[in-house]
Structure 1
């Protein structure tokens, strides 16, 4: 990729040139599905210096702000909506700021009401996660002790924001342990729903929020879900799923399997291989890509240690007769 060059004796020009390179990279990565060569080249560029990394951080913040603003304009201003098409069509020939604006406008149209930026291949946190008070990295787990002795355990790739009555789960998965003492219910909001528990005795529940879908599980005591589609009450060993529009039925669960991640394990029971790979990607640095389409729905059962997931991948490779190819940056292709 050609990028602008700047005179090394002009710090201001050099800094602007670096910002321009960052905008070009972000437009290239977000404008279409990037190839692995694109990703590897970007990662080399980003690691060139701290200034390169900082320039990209600035570009992605601008990108998120513009997508939010452009989304509103495109919905409310017909003249702007008509003009944006001309800008977007001219962006491909102008790789710098104009392409950056055009790609942001185009993305806002495609997404409708834009709330977050979905980064390609997990190269950076989604825009909504930048406002988190606490965020765990890939493979990291963290325990928080909040007011009233409420204990919250954050799983890998989890972002939360503290609120007066509890927490907002922006993305990821959290386990909440509530004390025996009474008081106001502890509230965890995720997407369109609010989970309320405690206030009448000890309790334990888990809530995950991934790709717009939430899963609420009650392990001990009771937990209530408040949602635009209605209210549901869960007892111990019960679970439901919801998204922005609807709530599923209640089903029974095995708490030991559900909480295996807190013991450093992943447990699968007749789980489709594609979902197993997605789950492993939440815990393992890099990326596992499953190209064997015919194997995506094959069932997987097993118990794997989070600390040695490459061993789990080796077992999967042999069990399903897959070919594995390792690439730089922790990328593993299964075909």
Structure 2
């Protein structure tokens, strides 16, 4: 017998188990790269059938970036049971087995990610999704937390030190004489950033794939900073005013010119100049809960404008009005941006 928690087998086979197990199975289906419209509808039905489904789906989605490196073709074949043959024909591989393979392959990354997630949850200062927080540090420096960010404040032993656990921060260092002899550092999972009388942003970026390490980005608006990778003390690099650089735990990437609009988030704004729609929505998605997807067919549309970050639904409505796109709101936690249906000639 089918229930509200179990999509029709014609649409997505038989998704079973508790809410977390079902969310994991749906994750595999949607990541397989071969999702049918019936499966998307079945997923939308499942997502709104029970509040626990939405909660578990959002939790599972947080690991999406880590698993993006898994080969989608292999996952799709496993889901369809075409990956192997036995003496009586194709051997069907259960979705639970596929999940086991995914989770075993990503065990180290999961443990690493969960440790950092725990540190973020217990950090001294945190901001919620869509929230920005501003405060003064003990030395008078200004600190701004971006959406969904976490930082520990460690002013002790002759050091002014921040530990960025998640997200991004903007720091404007003070110049009080009482603190002049104490260096100012921002530590990330990839290394250390030393402030040299400056205003700058440090962002902890998600790892691009389950087998790849994360990285940090530094943007300097005034003064300068010195970046030192965690595993390469002699590989430091100086980044000056109007410059930015990305680094991992071994190397600092090439220093590049700073986008003058990149720090607009500190004022609650998102500024786009000829920015592809897909990139814009990826940035906007950090300020709203759930999943915001964009179809490849519209991802390269260039966008110009200034958008308020406190109301992302209003931004989506404005984009829908200005461009040939349509906003599909499957649930509160799942929004897709697709190409608008073209009207036939003579159609009102």
Which of the pair has the greater relative contact order for Cα pairs under 8 Å at 6+ separation? 2
Please say if residues 236 and 252 of structure 2, whose CA atoms lie closer than 8 Å, have aligned partners that are also in contact.
no
Q: 1:285 aligns with which of 281, 284, 289?
A: 289
- Shift of residue 186 of structure 1? 1.8
1:233-312 alignment, distance < 5 Å: 233-253=238-258, 255=260, 257-291=261-295, 293-312=296-315
Please say if residues 44 and 331 of structure 2, whose CA atoms lie closer than 8 Å, have aligned partners that are also in contact.
no
Please say if residues 270 and 299 of structure 1, whose CA atoms lie closer than 8 Å, have aligned partners that are also in contact.
yes
Q: 2:220 aligns with which of 194, 214, 218?
A: 218
Over the residues paired in the alignment, what is the CA RMSD in angstroms?
A: 3.7
Tell me the residue number matched to 2:150: 159
Q: How many residues align?
A: 269
Deviation string, structure 1 residues 49-70 (Cα, Å, up to 9, x no partner): xxx97xx79x98xxx9xxxxxx
Greater Cα offset, 103-112 or 210-219? 103-112
TM-score by length of 2: 0.64
Higher relative helix content: 1
Distance 1:39 1:327 in 2: 6
Deviation string, structure 1 residues 65-117 (Cα, Å, up to 9, x no partner): xxxxxxxxxxxxxxxxxxxxxxxx99948xxxxx6xx7775334423731558
Distance 1:246 1:128 in 2: 21
Please say if residues 227 and 252 of structure 2, whose CA atoms lie closer than 8 Å, have aligned partners that are also in contact.
no
Distance 1:231 1:39 in 2: 48
Q: Say whether residues 1:111 and 2:106 are aligned partners.
A: yes
1:1-335 alignment, distance < 5 Å: 21-25=18-22, 27-29=24-26, 31=28, 33=30, 37-38=42-43, 41-42=46-47, 44-47=49-52, 92=94, 106-111=101-106, 113-115=108-110, 128-132=116-120, 133=123, 134-163=125-154, 165-181=160-176, 182-198=180-196, 202-211=197-206, 212-227=214-229, 228=231, 230-253=235-258, 255=260, 257-291=261-295, 293-335=296-338
Deviation string, structure 1 residues 168-216 (Cα, Å, up to 9, x no partner): 2222111012111313222212232211115xxx421101122123210
5+ residue gaps, structure 1? 4-19, 65-88, 94-98, 119-125
User: Structure 1 residues 331, 142: closer, same or farther in 2, change over 3 A?
Assistant: same
5+ residue gaps, structure 2? 5-16, 32-38, 64-90, 207-213, 339-348
TM-score by length of 1: 0.67
Please say if residues 115 and 128 of structure 1, whose CA atoms lie closer than 8 Å, have aligned partners that are also in contact.
no
